[in-house]
Structure 1
């Protein structure tokens, strides 16, 4: 105990860090991007949305006293992601943190699903995460200082959601979990930690549309804690895994599901 440095930085302090967040224009990605800024990071915001989502995220980050950079990018394009990393480092500094939240969800019975629906979702949810991690890790490896990457998966990568016909979505999220573990082992010697977060049912704009009210009630009834998560509740897990507080954590999939997977 005599060797404890009482003047050491706070474990969850991200001051001096530069983060990239994909899917930063709405939902979980947007809230985590703001949360990283609240903890001291400057944040590059990536999304392909055409609304004002990124502008809203950037405004809140500015109000938190941090810098941001908004980049319109398609995560299924390796060139777009390489360019985004270059813009991030030119505008904010060397990249050392990344949170990949870009993804889509839809449903259809497996026997009726068209190949295009399956492939589009897989391209965004799996290929997009792979390309994002690849571009981010290349920069971190080039600097030689390591870094931390967190990918947003889903509890649907661990269980099959009752009443939802989402074989392609479930498979994509299971793939993100396994891909994150595999990357963690490939890059462990390069000082890059890779982990994933698997949210349970979360009150994002997609899940709180008026036409979803009956499904929302089902989600809440199926969750042991009796409610869906608030997007704010994804910030702490993300900050933990990205920060020095999780310095010995890599290859972890952190379930944030209100106890759902215990049943």
Structure 2
């Protein structure tokens, strides 16, 4: 359907080197967009994502940087606009996680999670909005988590949960600030997803619990976040802003 096509769009995806970010970057290209992949160059993956995008016949850029650096973000957007064209879609996916009991968690660990997951998303939105707002057009999608709405059973991650709750409410706030200037801001909140981090042997028992506690009886594949993101990026959601779209197999219902 034409409503869901992204032909002529230029997208930026942060944290595009693996997992959900990689799946979304490739999915946006499949929908017709040219895509810039932003993330840590030293960790690999960006070039692979870019190669898979170009194999689809779309243009791609691999841009190394960190979302906590205003200069890295500004430079990346300069490159995107010079080499791909006007930025129209941004997916802010970069984030970190962890698990530690609240009473023993160091202040440094708390600050690190919030610096990447909250400040990094805000700085990304800010840099993207600076080029989108003057054109009165654009769609920003921030990747949060169902953990921003519920507290995961059996997991000690107050720092992560609170950071994702902040992303959701911040996104709604930005959506309201920018609604009358043509810029939409929405959220996709995944449930338990089978990313490379969750394929490690040491978390095999936790995976069984995640599946058991999800009404659909399984974890999501990273590719299952593509459809919701394409919807929010496309004309199909032209009257949607400030939405937290939870993609969790029904988990929050319980």
- Tell me the TM-score normalized by structure 1: 0.95
Write out the 4+ residue segments of structure 1 that deviate beyond 6 Å after TM superposition: none
Aligned residue among 18, 22, 27 for 1:30:
22
Aligned residue pair count? 254
Give the whole-Å Cα distance in 2 for the aligned partners of 1:228 and 1:18: 30
Cα deviations by residue, 1:219-256 (Å, 9 ceiling, x for unpaired): 00000000000011000000000100000100000000
Bigger radius of gyration? 1
Task: Determine whether 1:96 maps to 2:88.
Answer: yes
Aligned to 1:153: 144
Task: Determine whether 1:215 maps to 2:206.
Answer: yes
Aligned to 1:42: 34
- Aligned-pair CA distance for 1:51: 3.2
Task: Determine whether 1:16 maps to 2:8.
Answer: yes
3-state DSSP class of the match of 1:110? coil
Aligned to 1:239: 230
Are residues 43 and 259 of structure 1, via their aligned partners in 2, closer, same or farther at CA, if it must alter by over 3 Å? same
User: Is this contact kept in 1: 2:41–2:63, CA < 8 A?
Assistant: no
- Aligned-pair CA distance for 1:145: 3.5
Aligned to 1:190: 181
Cα deviations by residue, 1:145-202 (Å, 9 ceiling, x for unpaired): 4100000000000000011000000000000000100000000011000000110000
Give the whole-Å Cα distance in 1 for the aligned partners of 2:204 and 2:48: 26
Give the whole-Å Cα distance in 2 for the aligned partners of 1:117 and 1:207: 21
Give the unaligned 5+ runs of structure 2.
none
Aligned residue among 120, 123, 126 for 1:131:
123
Task: Determine whether 1:169 maps to 2:160.
Answer: yes
Aligned to 1:4: none
Task: Determine whether 1:252 maps to 2:243.
Answer: yes
- Aligned-pair CA distance for 1:79: 1.2
Give the whole-Å Cα distance in 1 for the aligned partners of 2:133 and 2:150: 34
Give the whole-Å Cα distance in 2 for the aligned partners of 1:250 and 1:51: 33
Give the unaligned 5+ runs of structure 1.
1-8
3-state DSSP class of the match of 1:151? strand
What is the Cα-based RMSD across aligned positions, in Å? 0.8
Aligned residue among 78, 95, 100 for 1:108:
100
Give the whole-Å Cα distance in 2 for the aligned partners of 1:189 and 1:228: 38
- Aligned-pair CA distance for 1:210: 1.1
Give the whole-Å Cα distance in 2 for the aligned partners of 1:119 and 1:30: 26
Aligned to 2:191: 200
- Aligned-pair CA distance for 1:49: 4.2
- Aligned-pair CA distance for 1:96: 0.7
